[in-house]
Amino acid sequence: MALWSWNVDSDQLQMDQTGYDLWGVPTIKEVTFEDLSAHIHPADRDRVRAGFNATRGIIGSYEIDFRILVNEEVRWVSARGRGDDEGIRNRVMFGIFLDVTGRKQAEEANELLAGEMSHRVKNLITIAGALTTMTSRSTETKEEMVSDLTHRLAALGRAHDVVRPVPGRADSATLLGDLLSVLLTPYDNLGAFNGRVRVAVPRMGIGEISATNLALVLHELATNSVKHGALSVPNGLLDVACQLEENDAVIVWSERGGPPCVAPTSTRGFGHKLLDRIMVNQFGGSITYDWPKAGAVVTLRIETKRLAL
């Protein structure tokens, strides 16, 4: 907190040492409002000038918050005093400058976080609504619908846990490998031993939207594997690997050790439609299937620029 006095006739200001340090001006006996104005952020300068000129017409206390520039650093200052010449002596008004930079930065961070969380919640609600509608069309009983929808929403929840923002960390980008590991860990525990689900991907980040969509894709593949593929037997194995090819990230899902693989007679079910829609519309890529006897092989091709969204 810095103390200041302002001569309303001569426009001269006096401050204590804290005031000079706060504004980054040389320690001299007197400065004018114009001297300080040079340090006020250009976007706030006219408003502050008008506010200070209006203080003499304000009855009681006043408060003006604004930004100042000290070298290249932005600081927030709150100027407080009494208006309408209240308590004036010898044509001099008195007040204080408060350094409120920390409070303003916290408020801005909270606003950004609130906006981010609102955006995430809206996205999840939209996806949940679409999944509910599509699942209702692809199931025959309410019990089947509840089971399918619950598992799909759980996959979204696991993806959200991985990509949620970490307070105080600007470098908390989600890694693709971490996301795949979290999403597939529940299936690793279904067999006779741990480690039958193996993930090998390069170190690369993934954004919130892509993580949500990829969670749905992997859940559908894992669900099919649990029902018919390698994850349906205790000793089945699943390998998920990724490599970069020019502008694409290619994820290969390979199953081994399950029942003899048989190509499905139809690819018109809800699961296949969901995967096609996500891979084409959201990732700008493709999904292809191979059905060797040893186990299904699914190749996901994703544009790397969309993976970061």
Each residue of 187-206: pLDDT tens digit?
A: 776 555 667 889 998 888 88
pLDDT at 241: 92
How many CB atoms neighbour CB 202 within 10 A? Answer: 12
Q: Is the pLDDT of residue 251 over 90?
A: yes
Domains of the chain, CATH where assigned = 2-99 (3.30.450.20), 105-307 (3.30.565.10)
Q: What is the mean pLDDT of the chain?
A: 79
Cβ atoms of 25 and 39 within 8 Å: the answer is: yes
pLDDT at 46 over 90: no
Per-residue model confidence as pLDDT tens digits over 13-32: 888 888 888 888 887 667 88
- In this prediction the pTM is 0.50
What was the pLDDT predicted at 31? 83
Higher confidence at residue 214 or residue 173?
Answer: 214
In contact, 295 and 232? CB cutoff 8 Å? no
